[in-house]
């Protein structure tokens, strides 16, 4: 599949893979924090059979440019999404996992002129569970000096996702890593991205209320306000084994966005697309079909 360059906000160039006919209606895949555009399994190819599908590396991730000013705030990610969406002749359907999802909520809910035909939120909502946030934070910040081998990386991932089979071929891991000159493998994102973003949800909310700091990515109150303004078709896909999005968090999203629908995927945790790619693809294709038919 061809890698292309797209324009984000603040002059940043964002890398993307594209599948399908560019004259068709666009669907944009936006991965979670610390992931890359390769996180979707067969989803990009499946969507590209029917629409123009793009899987984008968020700023500071994968092959996209790093923010020279270190701006990895929710505002910055939301600006990128608005610029991306506005670059197409037809409003795209946005499919956002975790960070890509909350950034899409902010992009659409806080800017009335934001262009999108539909929104798929993948295992994320304004209310997330503190334990899940901390577990993700520990995973991302626990090996900042990298790994001596791909075997070490595979061991760590297997510990984090014990329900997913450990791959026998480790070459695919290279899509999410880069090798330094000293031979160590490090995650394919800007280390500045994780700075100060995985403290207690209560701590970050208190700091935001006191200082006006918008850098937190887990500002539930802000995301609640944004979600309540969303009027476009919306689908929430939850991993039934997720420790980040609880049933209560999913129900709250449905109350904030009454026209939204929910698909609860059995056998999947927070990484829904990776855990049950077949069921995930079915849900997204059916939703986009309905959006485009309307």
Buried b (16+ CB within 10 A) or exposed e, 252-270: bbeebbeebebbebeebbb
Q: What is the pLDDT of residues 218-275, one digit of tens each?
A: 799 999 999 999 999 999 999 999 999 999 999 999 999 999 999 999 999 999 999 9
Mean predicted confidence (pLDDT) in 207-226: 67
CA distances in angstroms from 22 to 14, 30, 109, 289, listed in the order given: 18, 18, 27, 17
Q: What is the pTM of this model?
A: 0.92
Query: Looking at the structure, do residues 152 and 98 belong to the same domain, yes or no?
Result: no
Least reliable range by pLDDT among 9-23, 37-51, 209-223: 209-223
- Residue 49 and residue 123 in one domain: yes
pLDDT surpassing 80 at residue 119:
yes
Indicate if 119 and 240 belong to the same structural domain: yes
pLDDT at 72: 95
* Number of structural domains the chain divides into: 2
Q: Is residue 209 part of a domain?
A: no
Report pLDDT digits (tens) over 254-264.
Answer: 999 999 999 99
Q: Are strands 234-239 and 261-265 parallel, antiparallel or unpaired?
A: parallel
User: Are 83 and 227 in a shared domain?
Assistant: yes
**SS3 readout for 199-255:** CCHHHHHHHHHHHCCCCCCCCHHHHHHHHCCCCCCEEEEEECCCCCCCHHHHHHHHH
What is the arithmetic mean of pLDDT over 63-70? 95
Residue 214 has what pLDDT? 40
Instruction: Specify whether 181 is located in the same domain as 271.
Output: no
**CA distances from residue 47 to 21, 250, 279 in whole angstroms, order as listed:** 11, 25, 14
How many Cα atoms within 13 Å fall on the side-chain side of residue 203? 8
Domain assignment present for 213: no
122 belongs to a structural domain = yes
Same domain, 136 and 112: no
Do 109 and 239 belong together in one domain?
yes
Mean pLDDT is highest, among 46-60, 99-113, 204-218, for: 46-60
Query: Does 279 map to a domain?
Result: yes
Identify whether 183 is part of a domain.
Answer: yes
CATH assignment of the domain containing 228 = 3.40.50.1820
Residue 215 has pLDDT above 90, yes or no: no
Q: Is residue 207, in this structure, part of any structural domain at all?
A: no
SS (H, E, C) the chain: CCEEEEECHHHCEEEEEEECCCCCCEEEEECCCCCCCCCCCCHHHHHHCCCEEEEECCCCECCCCCCCCCCCCHHHHHHHHHHHHHCCCCCCEEEEECHHHHHHHHHHHCCCCCCCCEEEEECCCCCCCHHHHHHHHHHHHCCCCCECCHHHHHHHHHHHCCCCCCCCCHHHHHHHEEECCCCCEEECECHHHHCCCCCCHHHHHHHHHHHCCCCCCCCHHHHHHHHCCCCCCEEEEEECCCCCCCHHHHHHHHHHCCCCEEEEECCCCCCHHHHCHHHHHHHHHHHHHHHHHC
Residues 111 and 248 in one domain: yes
Chain centroid to CA 63: how far? 16
Together in a domain, 83 and 228: yes
For residue 145, being part of any structural domain is answered with: yes
Give the rounded percent of residues in the chain with a pLDDT score beyond 90.
79
**For 120-178, how does the pLDDT look when each residue is reduced to its tens digit (9 = 90+)?**
999 999 999 999 998 998 888 888 999 999 999 999 999 988 888 888 899 989 999 99
In which residue are the tokens 């200082």 written?
A: 211
Q: Are 1 and 19 in contact (CB under 8 A)?
A: yes
Q: Tell me, yes or no, whether 210 lies in a domain.
A: no
Pair of tokens at residue 99: 């960070």
CA–CA gap between residue 31 and residue 229 (Å, rounded): 23
Confidence category of residue 213, pLDDT binned at 50, 70, 90: very low
Distance (Å, whole) CA 49 – CA 168: 29
pLDDT at 106: 96
Q: Which domain does 69 fall in, by range?
A: 3-129+219-293
Q: Domain ends where: 194, 210, 234?
A: 194
Are residue 70 and residue 188 in the same domain, yes or no?
A: no
Residues 113 and 173 both lie in one domain? no
What pLDDT is recorded for position 203?
42
Separation of alpha carbons 192 and 66, rounded Å:
9
If one counts every other C-beta atom within 10 angstroms of the C-beta of residue 130, the result is: 12
Is residue 62 domain-shared with residue 119, that is, in the same domain? yes
pLDDT averaged over the chain? 91
């Amino acid at each position: 599949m061809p890698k292309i360059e797209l324009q984000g906000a603040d002059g940043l160039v964002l890398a993307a893979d594209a599948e399908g006919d560019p004259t068709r209606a666009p669907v944009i895949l936006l991965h979670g924090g610390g992931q890359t555009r390769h996180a979707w399994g067969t989803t990009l190819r499946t969507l590209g059979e029917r629409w123009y599908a793009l899987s984008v590396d968020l700023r500071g991730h994968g092959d996209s440019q790093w923010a020279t000013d270190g701006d990895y705030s929710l505002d910055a990610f939301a600006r990128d999404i608005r610029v991306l969406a506005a670059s197409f002749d037809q409003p795209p359907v946005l499919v956002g996992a975790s960070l890509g999802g909350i950034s899409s909520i902010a992009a659409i809910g806080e800017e009335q002129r934001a262009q999108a035909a539909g929104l798929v939120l993948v295992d994320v909502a304004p209310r997330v569970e503190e334990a899940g946030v901390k577990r993700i934070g520990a995973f991302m910040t626990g090996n900042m000096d990298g790994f001596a081998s791909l075997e070490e990386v595979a061991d760590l991932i297997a510990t984090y996702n014990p329900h997913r089979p450990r791959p026998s071929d480790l070459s695919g891991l290279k899509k999410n890593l880069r090798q330094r000159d000293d031979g160590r493998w490090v995650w394919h994102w800007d280390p500045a991205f994780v700075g100060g973003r995985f403290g207690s949800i209560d701590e970050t909310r208190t700091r935001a209320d006191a200082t006006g700091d918008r850098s937190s990515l887990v500002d539930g109150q802000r995301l609640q306000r944004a979600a309540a303004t969303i009027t476009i078709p919306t689908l929430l896909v939850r991993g039934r084994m997720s420790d980040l999005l609880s049933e209560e968090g999913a129900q709250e999203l449905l109350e904030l966005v009454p026209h939204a629908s929910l698909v609860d995927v059995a056998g999947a945790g927070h990484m829904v697309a990776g855990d049950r790619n077949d069921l995930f693809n079915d849900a997204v294709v059916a939703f986009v079909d309905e959006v485009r038919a309307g």
